Amino acid sequence: MIRVTNLRVSYGTSRGGREVLHGIDLHVPRGQLVGLLGPNGSGKTTLIKALAGLLPAASGRIEIAGADIAKLSHRERALRLSCVMQHVEAPAGFSVRELVLMGRFAHTGMLAGYGPADHAAAEAALKDARALDLAERQAAELSGGEIQRVLLARALAQGRELLLLDEAVSALDMARRVEAYDLLATLNKGGSTVLSALHDLNLAALYCPRLVFLKAGRIALDGPTAEIFTETNLKDLYETDIRVAAHPVTGAPQAHLVPGASAAALG
């Protein structure tokens, strides 16, 4: 579904720019649910933006469902993948329903407006994202958690083939996070490919069978969660003492911080 070959991305002009991703190779087959992890500044958001076509590749190649995204139009790209970014503020004057309906833009022709099929898709998306109760509210008046649910609904309305998420649940409380990832898991079972960048190691380990760790613009680790989510790997990546123990219910590995570890590391 996603095939990234030797991707380099820079911010700023081509000459004086700062390279943030230094040659990423990544393959995500159709139907996977992948967690993208890494410390702050490791390039998670940049990679998601490049995959979504918001940032041009300085070199390398990104293929989505077999098509080079540099050659796709905005509309064609929007039909292949939907994306939820972090820190999105809803503009004033739009209802939640209107905002979710905008997810259908790429599906409509230039002359035709949003048709019955689009309204139905928006309705289904609102329902799946547990945002139906917000439908008539003003989007600008929602809380941070509510707006994330609405944006997820909009992404679902846009398409469910490939979902890219960047810290899409960080503003949600614990119960809502679980709800959101349960939804992602359900979607994944239904055939959606999901690549989700997140900070929460344990949430990633609970839900994602495969994890990709970025560090300083390179892929540090990539593999099945059970194999790579180990104390040694996490210590190296995050440069602090981390203990891993099994989840009491599912048995998935869970990371635990150790107080005073940073002082000891500096020691």
Partner 1 sequence: MTGKARDSRAPGRILRANTLWPQSLWIGIICAASLASAVIACGLGSFPSPPAETLRALVHALGQAIGLHMGQPVDPALSVVVVDIRLARVALAWLTGASLATAGCVFQGVLRNPLADAFTLGVSGGAAFGASVAIIFGLAGGAAISGLGGSTGILPLFALAGALLALAAVLALGRAGSGSMGNMRRETLVLAGIVVSTFLSALISLLKSLDEESVASIVFWIMGSFQGRGFEHVRLALPYMAVGLGLVLWRARELDLLALGEGQARLLGLDAGRSRLWLLIGASLLSGAAVAVSGVIGFVGLVVPHLLRMVIGAGHRTLLPASAGLGGLLLLWSDVLARSILPGGAELPVGVVTALIGGPFFCLLLGRNSQGGA
| Alpha helices per DSSP H over 87-230 | 96-101, 116-128, 144-158, 174-189, 201-207, 225-228
Closer residue to partner 1 (CB): 54 or 117: 54
CB of 1 to partner 1, least distance (A): 18
Q: Give least dist CB 109 to partner 1, A.
A: 11
Q: Which of 5, 32, 108, 230 binds partner 1 (CB under 8 A)?
A: 108
Q: Does 117 bind partner 1 (CB under 8 A)?
A: no
Q: Is residue 168 within a helix (H) or strand (E), and if so which, with residue range? A: none
Question: Which DSSP string do the residues of 1-61 spell out, in sequence order?
Answer: -EEEEEEEEEES-TTTPEEEEEEEEEEE-TT-EEEEE-STTSSHHHHHHHHTTSS--SEEE
Task: Name the minimum Å distance from CB 57 to partner 1.
Answer: 16
Binding piece for partner 1, criterion CB under 8 A, among 19-27, 49-57, 204-212, 213-221: 49-57
Nearest to 44 by CA among 216, 250, 182, 178: 216
For residue 178, count CB atoms less than 10 angstroms from its CB and return exposed for 0-12, middle for 13-18, buried for 19 or more. middle
94 binds partner 1 per the rule CB under 8 A: yes
Minimum CB–partner distance for residue 119 and partner 1 (Å): 13
* Neighbouring C-beta atoms of residue 203, cutoff 10 Å: 20
| Residue tagged 């409509």 (tokens) | 108
45 touches partner 1 by CB under 8 A: no
Residues in CB range of 136: below 8 A, 6 or more apart: 95, 96, 97
Does 202 sit near partner 1 (CB under 8 A)? no
CB atoms within 10 A of CB 125: 26
Q: Interface mask (CB under 8 A) for partner 1, residues 56-85, using x and -? A: -----------------xxx-xxx--xx-x
Please select the residue that binds partner 1; options are 23, 60, 145, 209, rule is CB under 8 A: 145
With contacts defined by CB under 8 A, name the span among 25-33, 108-116, 214-222, 257-265 that binds partner 1: 108-116
* Stretch binding partner 1 (CB under 8 A), from 22-30, 51-59, 239-247, 255-263: 51-59
Which of 5, 170, 230, 240 is the binder for partner 1 (CB under 8 A)?
Answer: 170
Using alpha carbons, list the distances in angstroms from residue 96 to 86, 125, 156, 158.
18, 12, 14, 15
Choice between 61 and 74, CB closer to partner 1: 74
Q: Is 144 in the site for partner 1 (CB under 8 A)?
A: yes
Which residue's structure tokens are 């993208």? 36
Residue 193 CA to residue 255 CA, distance in Å, equals 25
Using the minimum distance from each CB to partner 1, give the nearer residue, 76 or 241: 76
Chain contacts with partner 1 (rule: CB under 8 A): 52-54, 73-75, 77-79, 82-83, 85, 88, 90-95, 98, 102-103, 105-106, 108, 110-111, 113-114, 136-138, 140-146, 158, 170-171
